[in-house]
Amino acid sequence: MDRILFIAPPHIKVGDFLTPRYNMRTAVRESGARFGAVLTDMPLGPLSISSYLKGQLGRDKVDVRVLDLNVSLNLVQKWEWNTQSFADFIRHEFLTGRDRVTGQLWSEFNPNIIGASMLFSPSYENFLDIIRVARQVFPNATLMGGGGVPTIVYGKIFNESPEIDAIGFGESEKPFVELLRAENRDLYLEASPYWITRAKKDLPRNMFAYNYVYDLDEIPGFDYSLVHSPDYMLNPALANYGNVDSKQANFHYMTSRGCPYHCNFCASHLVNGREMRNHSLERVRQDLTRLRDELGAKTIVMQDDNFMGSGDAGRERALQIVKILGELKLTVVFQNSLTLFALKRPFLEAMREAGVTQLVLAVESGSARVLREIMHKPLKLEYVEQVAKDCRELGIFTECNILIGNLHETEKDIADCRDFITSEKCPADWYKILIATPLVGSEFYEDAVAEALIEEGGGANFDFKQVNISTTELPAERVKHLQYSLNLEVNFVKNHNLRLGEEAIAQGNYEAAVPLYRQALLGFQNAVDGKPDHLFGHHFAALCYDRLGEIGKAEHHRQQAILASQDPFWQKWLGEFPQIQVGQTLNAIAVTVH
């Protein structure tokens, strides 16, 4: 029997975990230690491969386990290892850690195949550490890599990791089955176009091939038996969803693969392709029913790259899935933002009827020029206006993703974006202001390499929380400043809910003001939960509690804002927003608040 260990590397760099930067969420342990927040999404790739292996080969042929190092980091109470990398921590996990499901020591499990997945570049150094330490602890194991980054920069990985044996090209369900069935696995790896080995590391991409499962129903349901589901109940990512109880039993799930669009900042097509491949609606119902009835799921976190699919058929399929979720009384979170131009009013009404109370909208930019000429995104701003207004009317909390710093974007473009998202045209509840990252394999990346802004083969370890390129139009330091300035302006100083609440009071409509202040508080409280000294979060939370007549809470946040105002970091930002009067109070509105 093959003993296979799939490893999910930390999604965070060691420095950001130990000393989080100003623009990062943090998390406090029971010990009182504070670390950078670590996202814990269930590793669906390994769960899918496991179910496919067991279905094709038989459960008596493979023993599959998962070690999610993000979960391991969330359990750390005190850091006792090297601060320059996760290597010592990983070694400690291999030697003394236990499977969260079976309780068996990893050293006793002694896998003969170890596969580390890597979807995004912040995990790059951690991935290399895993492979290096695995070779030391499990010297006889075959060491493999997979996922988006290894598929694209395989040559770089082989050059920097003398220990790794093979990398899967694209999706790996079918190639893994072929490997385990092969009489001579070494010969198979060398001959197969679906696997990259050291001998093939210098071959161009067109010498390799994808081996997709086109009918996704051929893959049995995700093998959730490999994970300890309570480890994912406090996923920091769900803290961004103010209307979702993150402590409910949540399970990650996907209904499709692929994306037909050509956004310049995305590289997912190099792994999953542009053609949409879907589970049937019957299969989706079976999976969701199983999650509810057998595993106790309350919340489903959808991870589809493009849940809305393509064309009318894609929208109809998405609508039917939403209806199934409603029938099963399951809360749904779309962690990957939804295609805006597909969100017509009837679909949003069906979502609301099914219990959806919060959506992430893929606006990406409030500049029509950036959307059209740079991102190549088939989105018009009037679509954004309509969806944002429809969601507000229907009572659906909206968070919009905004990217700044794309190649050839100018400061005027960002000013246009600011004007749009702070206006009445886009009355969203919250905005996630992100720095555009040239993901390896994306058009953004290829263009940046062509313009000598990135070295050929570089960028595999780019960080999503910092500026990775600098242009004459937008120098890196200016982008960094604009990103945080825009965040403070649109989410706090010109927060739509707070502004609408003030307008309601001015009109004497006190009853309408109350839910608006409550909605604004969701964002302000989330800000201070993730960054306890967030002056703007405390200041505006105090103003909301003042209006609601909750004087004790208002005074608490006011004092925290005054304390934070002594920090030079916040003094700088108060200088940029002189209208903020720390310690300010507001009169309570004349309404009984329950």
Domain ranges of the chain: 2-207, 233-494, 495-594
For residue 251, the cross-strand partners are 300
- In sign, the C-alpha dihedral spanning 17, 19, 20, 21 is negative
What's the confidence (pLDDT) of residue 243? 53
> What number of other Cβ atoms are within 10 A of residue 552's Cβ?
7
Tokens of 134: 């695995």
Whether residue 338 contacts residue 388, with contact meaning beta carbons closer than 8 Å, is answered with: no
Tokens of 361: 């909208």
List of residues 6+ apart from 259 with CB closer than 8 A: 266, 268, 269, 272, 274, 276, 305, 306
What's the confidence (pLDDT) of residue 473? 85
Tokens of 573: 């930002």
What's the confidence (pLDDT) of residue 235? 61
Helix (H, G, I), strand (E, B) or coil at 294: coil
CA distances from 389 to 176, 414, 428, 430, 588 (A): 47, 22, 8, 14, 28
Spatial separation of the C-alpha atoms in residues 523 and 292, rounded to whole Å: 30
Spatial separation of the C-alpha atoms in residues 484 and 462, rounded to whole Å: 19
What's the confidence (pLDDT) of residue 593? 47
Whether residue 3 contacts residue 212, with contact meaning beta carbons closer than 8 Å, is answered with: no
Q: What is the CA radius of gyration of the chain?
A: 24
> Which runs of E-coded beta strand occur in 318-392?
331-334, 358-364
Which letter does DSSP use for residue 489 in this model? I
> Which runs of E-coded beta strand occur in 249-378?
250-253, 256-257, 277-278, 299-302, 331-334, 358-364
Whether residue 188 contacts residue 200, with contact meaning beta carbons closer than 8 Å, is answered with: no
Which letter does DSSP use for residue 531 in this model? S
CATH topology of domain 495-594: 1.25.40
Please give the angle made by the CA atoms of 64, 149 and 271, to the nearest 5 degrees.
80
Spatial separation of the C-alpha atoms in residues 258 and 273, rounded to whole Å: 5
pTM recorded for the entire structure: 0.92
Helix (H, G, I), strand (E, B) or coil at 565: coil
Which ranges of the chain have pLDDT less than 50? 241, 592-594
Spatial separation of the C-alpha atoms in residues 20 and 463, rounded to whole Å: 13
Whether residue 29 contacts residue 133, with contact meaning beta carbons closer than 8 Å, is answered with: no
Long-range contacts of 469-474 (CB under 8 A, 24+ apart): 469/405, 469/407, 469/438, 471/407, 471/408, 473/408, 473/409, 473/410, 473/411, 474/405, 474/409, 474/410, 474/411, 474/414
- In sign, the C-alpha dihedral spanning 125, 131, 134, 135 is negative
Spatial separation of the C-alpha atoms in residues 435 and 365, rounded to whole Å: 11
Instruction: Specify the CATH number for 2-207; select among 3.40.1390.20, 3.40.50.280, 3.30.420.480, 3.50.50.60.
Output: 3.40.50.280
Say if domain 233-494 classifies as CATH 3.40.50.1000: no
Spatial separation of the C-alpha atoms in residues 549 and 332, rounded to whole Å: 33
